[in-house]
Amino acid sequence: MDGIFRFLAVVKYLIAGLGNIGSEYELTRHNIGFLALDRIADNHKLKFETNRLADKAELKYKGRQLHLIKPNTYMNLSGKAVGYWLQDLKIPKENLLVIVDDIALPFGSLRMRTKGSAAGHNGLKNIELVLGGQAYARLRFGIGDDFSKGQQVDFVLSNFSKDEIGELPSLMDKTADMVYSFCTIGAERTMNFFND
């Protein structure tokens, strides 16, 4: 009997890293969400498997069940995958965390928010549309704004610089720590500990 209750008590989280599928996008700034989840998977020897609307992996962490998804719908339809998996796994919206690139933050700056506007980000816009609002947690990874007027799309879809690639592993580990923290002590305390 105890075993049944322990099983029922497992708290589930959906961690959605945003990006675009295809090798041509692999190391682009817009794919920071994919890269963050790949780092978590590598650290825990997890394997992503292609499933409904996403590549998916699962991680047990301190009594929590983390469902990691990389939507394979392309960035602009990310909400489709997020909405599907929230519903399929019966995960409450407050246990959703979306990892996303942000040009408004300097490179490597990490900020968690429990709500907020999409700020022109098409992936977030689509999630907002599907979920019917802005009240969901997101972890914004700064990619900087080193581009000329009208060059934003080219910039986010370009590869990281050599120097940035050198910094990525430690930044990915900090991102992972923020994910674990969100799932164990909650968004507010994570924001107090980690936000730049």
> Active-site residue numbers?
30
* Distance between CA atoms of residues 65 and 73, nearest Å: 24
In the block, which residue shows the tokens 């609002």? 133
In the block, which residue shows the tokens 């519903």? 87
DSSP string for 100-124: EEETTS-TT-EEEESS---TT-HHH
Compute how many other C-beta atoms are within 10 angstroms of the C-beta atom of residue 59.
20
Residue 33's SS3 state is helix
Compute how many other C-beta atoms are within 10 angstroms of the C-beta atom of residue 49.
10
